[in-house]
Structure 1
């Protein structure tokens, strides 16, 4: 189940996001949208990184009936990135959601041997989306 907090009225592929959740977990996933300034504060507080970012994931310790966790997306950053890369805002949000979802599922591209990158690429191909966050980062 997907719970969405979208006070920013960010355009979404809601049915696709729900499909992604339902294909990977029976647990609830929360999706929250915040602006760049709030994301900067969250990134500093939780990761010690003094800048904004595009997506953060907050897994919840596993216990019966617990949600999987929360995915927080910087809607301003996503809109800018979509414009710069020439694809839709909805596609950019979906890419960021997939990235965040994989983190909730336990993948970590910062320490793994490419497993998250491969899983992300497979999902992006499955859903016919533009290049992934990891692939873009590796190319930069």
Structure 2
């Protein structure tokens, strides 16, 4: 289940996003939809990167506590960038947001395309095929 906060003026149909979240995890996931400026600040503060980005993932750790259901983590998606990319690639903004959500949830689940041997890409492609989403972020950036 997604707990969604939308700081933008863009109106979304959240059905697809909720289906993707439920497909990948039974845990609650916090999703923040925001702008270039806000994600830039988060990227600088938490990752030391002084630039905007498309998606950030912040996994939660259960801190060894059992019996308490904590969210899997938080995902921040840059709607401004999603709009630009979707226009450049000729698909709907909603589909770009869905793709960014897939990518972010996989990071929360421990996948890391910068360190693994292709597992993140393969899992992303599986979800993309299942939900008929645009080309993978990992494929686009290689």
Asked if the contact 1:12/1:93 (under 8 Å) is kept, the reply is no
Does 2:58 match 1:58? yes
TM-score (norm 1): 0.93
TM-score (norm 2): 0.92
Does 2:39 match 1:39? yes
How far, CA to CA, are the matches of 1:60 and 1:41 in structure 2?
Answer: 20
Asked if the contact 2:7/2:35 (under 8 Å) is kept, the reply is no
Find the counterpart in structure 2 of residue 14 from structure 1: 14
How far, CA to CA, are the matches of 1:13 and 1:123 in structure 2?
Answer: 19
Does 2:117 match 1:113? yes
Where in structure 2 are there 5+ consecutive unaligned residues? none
Q: Aligned to 1:83, what secondary structure does the other structure show?
A: helix
Q: Aligned to 2:56, what secondary structure does the other structure show?
A: strand
How far, CA to CA, are the matches of 1:84 and 1:2 in structure 2?
Answer: 28
Which range moved further: 19-28 or 101-110?
Answer: 19-28
Q: Aligned to 1:129, what secondary structure does the other structure show?
A: coil
Where in structure 1 are there 5+ consecutive unaligned residues? none
